[in-house]
A = this chain, B = another copy of it.
Amino acid sequence: MNKVKIPETTITRLSSYLRIIEKIKEEGTRYTSSLILGERVGLNSDQVRKDLAYFGQFGIRGQGYAVDNLEENLKKILGLNRPWRVAVIGTGNLGSALMAYKGFAKRGFRIVAAFDIDKRKVGRQKGTLTIKDFRDFKKIAETVKIDIGIVAVPEESAIEVINCLTSSGIKAILNFAPLKVSMVKGTKCRNVDLSTELEGLTYFLSSPGI
C-alpha cells in the first residue's frame, strides 16, 4: 500500500521529533504545531509536516498536534513502544560507559547481558550482571532472549564479534567500534552515533516495511 519510499533522512529525524515532543510534554503543553516543533528541532515547518505525513495523519487542521497522541505515534513508528533486550559486548571503558548510560533505560532498552573475550574479565560482576564469555554467545543467546547487540570492543576484534552476532539471529547491531560495517545479509547494521542519543538505532529496530 504505502508505496512511497520514505527518505533515510526522514527516518533519522523522527527521533529528534520524539525527543522534543517529550520535552514539550514535560513542560505541560497539550497541543503543539509543526512550526513550534520545527523551531525546536532546527527545521522549517514544511519539513516537519512532510516527514510526519509519510506515516499517517497525526494532526488536526487548524489546531496542530496533540502532544500525547504524537508522542505515542512516534514511539510506535520507532519501535519504542515495547522493551528491547540488549547485550553489550566488550566491558572496557566504552562498554562501561554505554552500560551506565541512562538514555537506554529511559527508552526501554534493557541491558540483560554483558560479554567479554578477555578470560580474566569473564565471571566478574558488572553492576547487576556477571560478565560472560563471548565464546559462549550463541549458546547463551538460545536461552536468554537478546534483541540487540551493542559492540564496544577494540577495532581488532570487531569484525569477529559482528560476524558472530549476525549469525545468531539477532535483530540489530549497534556498532561503536571504530570501523565501518557494511550491511550483512538480512540484518541491518548501522554505525551509531553516541552523541545523538542513539538516533538511528531506532531505524533498524523499526519494522522491515519501513
Contact yes or no, B193 A195, CB < 8 A: yes
Give CA–CA (A178, B15) in the complex, Å.
13
Contact yes or no, B197 A194, CB < 8 A: no
**Mask: chain A, 92-104; 1 = CB below 8 Å from B; 0 = not:** 1110110011010
Contact yes or no, B182 A194, CB < 8 A: no
Chain B residues with Cβ under 8 A from A93's Cβ?
93-94, 96-97, 100
Chain B residues with Cβ under 8 A from A179's Cβ?
195, 197
Residue of chain B at shortest CB distance from A195: B191
With A193-B192, A195-B192 in contact, do A178 and B101 touch (Cβ < 8 Å)? yes
Give CA–CA (A16, B97) in the complex, Å.
26
Interface size class of A (residues with CB under 8 A): 20 to 34
* A193 interface neighbour in B16, B194, B197, Cβ under 8 Å: B194
Contact yes or no, B180 A194, CB < 8 A: no
Nearest Cβ distance between residue A191 and chain B, in whole angstroms? Answer: 4
Q: Taking beta carbons and an 8 Å cutoff, which residues of A are in contact with B?
A: 16, 42, 92-94, 96-97, 100-101, 103, 155, 175-180, 182, 191-198
Residue of chain B at shortest CB distance from A182: B42
Nearest Cβ distance between residue A113 and chain B, in whole angstroms? Answer: 18
Chain B residues with Cβ under 8 A from A177's Cβ?
195
Give CA–CA (A103, B154) in the complex, Å.
11
* A197 interface neighbour in B96, B101, B178, Cβ under 8 Å: B178
Give CA–CA (A176, B195) in the complex, Å.
5
Give CA–CA (A94, B198) in the complex, Å.
15
13 other A-B residue contacts (CB within 8 Å) besides A176-B194, A191-B195: A42-B180, A92-B97, A93-B96, A93-B100, A94-B194, A177-B195, A178-B194, A178-B195, A179-B195, A179-B197, A191-B193, A192-B195, A194-B194
Chain B residues with Cβ under 8 A from A192's Cβ?
193, 195
Nearest Cβ distance between residue A17 and chain B, in whole angstroms? Answer: 12
Nearest Cβ distance between residue A66 and chain B, in whole angstroms? Answer: 25
Chain B residues with Cβ under 8 A from A96's Cβ?
93, 97
